[in-house]
């Protein structure tokens, strides 16, 4: 079996897109499970829209999320001579010709074709003119006029295109620069790529690229066209219908492993499992099992998967990764005496790090706001809080069990419901009705701070 080489070939015209991450992931996994190589190629031939900033963003993000290439990435913008040489070779072999049709002429031609119900495509009018190169000519590939081309796709099977549906595409622009199709084909060959895994929007490009390969005498490639990632409007995922930048998800506190997991499950599944880590994917993934239809990116699935991945983290690792989110809130995790217990108690309070960090605020900072609705609902009688304050103040051994006993005894002696006793305390401590078990919560706050906050609420109420 020959060594598999895959590649991810982004255009640096924006930050790393979540759909791009998925394409890169499938390329990476496919290469790794075959002991092959995963490569990156920057397709920056569109000098108008490509920037170095975007390129850096893409490369940095791919690496940090774990999709590191096995060789240094190459830039198409630096490889002009190679493409020119290839173009020359095609020209010499008689599979290309110079064409001097102007943009206007082509436009007119297409208009006429459309008007007569024909498919708009270049009709090859310059093909046999034997034109010389000039500053007005483009180099076109002489596509075979008859026969068909069969694309063998790992996911879709054989896709057949009639050659007469394909027109003579441009290899070199009139300014002498190579086009996407040429660069793409040449680089896949130069990088010794064996398998092209890309979005299904490239399906119809494939027969064209195969013709270029043929003209150059390159070997056949293996293809797999992935279904697209869609937004909730069933349209291709874009800035308009969702957050598309990988960074945005990381900043919200989603784990890299959860993002990758979610992306992998978009279009692929294995058994009745939903939680996969990279090594699972490398073991279980099969490109042939990939779905053919586009998949909608559902944030609630990411939320859930993130909670699963979060739960699998050790406390140490959890704390470490939570750190930056606390820092953003100017919270130092060690400022709490029992930070380990606190974090352990709070780690399921939200699905994301940013949400968890936010819910930790009352444990580190003063409360400057109370949930008014909760006050209205649970505090009709201040005397409950006042009496509890006295009882708690009398407790010398401040531990969870003792605290719970005080609360329980008070509740049964007074014949009150649990919420009637507990919620006012919760509101005192956290400003809301949310917290872990109350005995634990009071313990975590410590005696002094607990009493102080009860006093604060009492004075706030009067």
Partner RNA sequence: GUCCCGUUCGUCUAGAGGCCUAGGACACCGGGUUUUCAUCCCGGCAACAGGGGUUCGACUCCCCUACGGGAUGCCA
Could you list the active site residues?
239
**In this complex, which beta carbon is closest to RNA, that of residue 21 or of residue 36?**
21
Shortest distance, CB of residue 41 to RNA, whole angstroms?
Answer: 9
Shortest distance, CB of residue 177 to RNA, whole angstroms?
Answer: 7
Decide if 246 contacts 65 (C-beta within 8 A).
yes
The pairing of strands 222-226 and 195-199 is: parallel
Q: Which two tokens stand for residue 345?
A: 């108690």
**In this complex, which beta carbon is closest to RNA, that of residue 45 or of residue 194?**
45
Shortest distance, CB of residue 203 to RNA, whole angstroms?
Answer: 5
């Amino acid at each position: 079996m020959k060594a598999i080489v895959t590649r991810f070939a982004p255009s640096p015209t924006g930050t790393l897109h979540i759909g791009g991450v998925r394409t890169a992931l499938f390329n990476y996994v496919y290469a790794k499970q075959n002991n092959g190589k995963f490569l990156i190629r920057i397709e920056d031939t569109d000098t108008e829209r490509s920037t170095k900033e975007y390129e850096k963003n893409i490369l940095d993000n791919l690496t940090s999320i774990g999709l590191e290439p096995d060789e240094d990435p190459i830039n198409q913008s630096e490889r002009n001579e190679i493409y020119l040489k290839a173009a020359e070779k095609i020209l010499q072999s008689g599979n290309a010709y110079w064409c001097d049709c102007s943009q206007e002429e082509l436009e007119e031609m297409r208009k006429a074709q459309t008007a007569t119900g024909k498919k708009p495509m270049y009709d090859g009018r310059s093909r046999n003119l034997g034109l010389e190169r000039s500053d007005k000519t483009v180099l076109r590939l002489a596509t075979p006029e008859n026969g068909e081309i069969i694309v063998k796709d790992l996911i879709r099977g054989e896709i057949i295109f009639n050659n007469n549906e394909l027109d003579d595409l441009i290899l070199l622009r009139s300014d002498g620069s190579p086009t996407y199709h040429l660069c793409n084909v040449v680089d896949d060959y130069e990088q010794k790529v064996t398998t092209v895994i890309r979005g299904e929007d490239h399906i119809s490009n494939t027969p064209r690229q195969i013709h270029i390969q043929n003209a150059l005498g390159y070997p056949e490639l293996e293809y797999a066209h992935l279904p697209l990632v869609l937004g909730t409007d069933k349209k291709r995922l874009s800035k308009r219908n969702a957050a598309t930048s990988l960074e945005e998800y990381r900043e919200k506190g989603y784990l890299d492993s959860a993002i990758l997991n979610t992306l992998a499950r978009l279009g692929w599944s294995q058994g009745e499992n939903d939680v996969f880590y990279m090594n699972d994917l490398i073991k279980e993934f099969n490109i042939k099992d990939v779905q053919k239809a586009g998949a909608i990116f559902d944030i609630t699935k990411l939320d859930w998967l993130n909670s699963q991945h979060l739960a699998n983290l050790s406390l140490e690792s959890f704390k470490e990764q939570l750190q930056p989110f606390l820092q953003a809130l100017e919270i130092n995790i060690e400022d709490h005496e029992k930070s380990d217990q606190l974090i352990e108690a709070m780690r399921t309070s939200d699905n994301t790090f940013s949400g968890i960090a936010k819910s930790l605020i009352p444990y580190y900072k003063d409360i400057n706001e109370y949930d008014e609705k909760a006050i209205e609902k649970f505090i009709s009688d201040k005397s409950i809080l006042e009496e509890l304050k006295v009882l708690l103040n009398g407790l010398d051994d401040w531990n969870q069990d003792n605290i719970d006993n005080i609360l329980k005894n008070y509740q049964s002696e007074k014949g009150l419901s649990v919420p009637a006793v507990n919620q006012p305390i919760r509101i005192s401590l956290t400003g809301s009705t949310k917290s872990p078990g109350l005995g634990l919560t009071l313990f975590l706050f410590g005696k002094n701070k607990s009493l102080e906050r009860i006093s604060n609420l009492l004075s706030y109420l009067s």
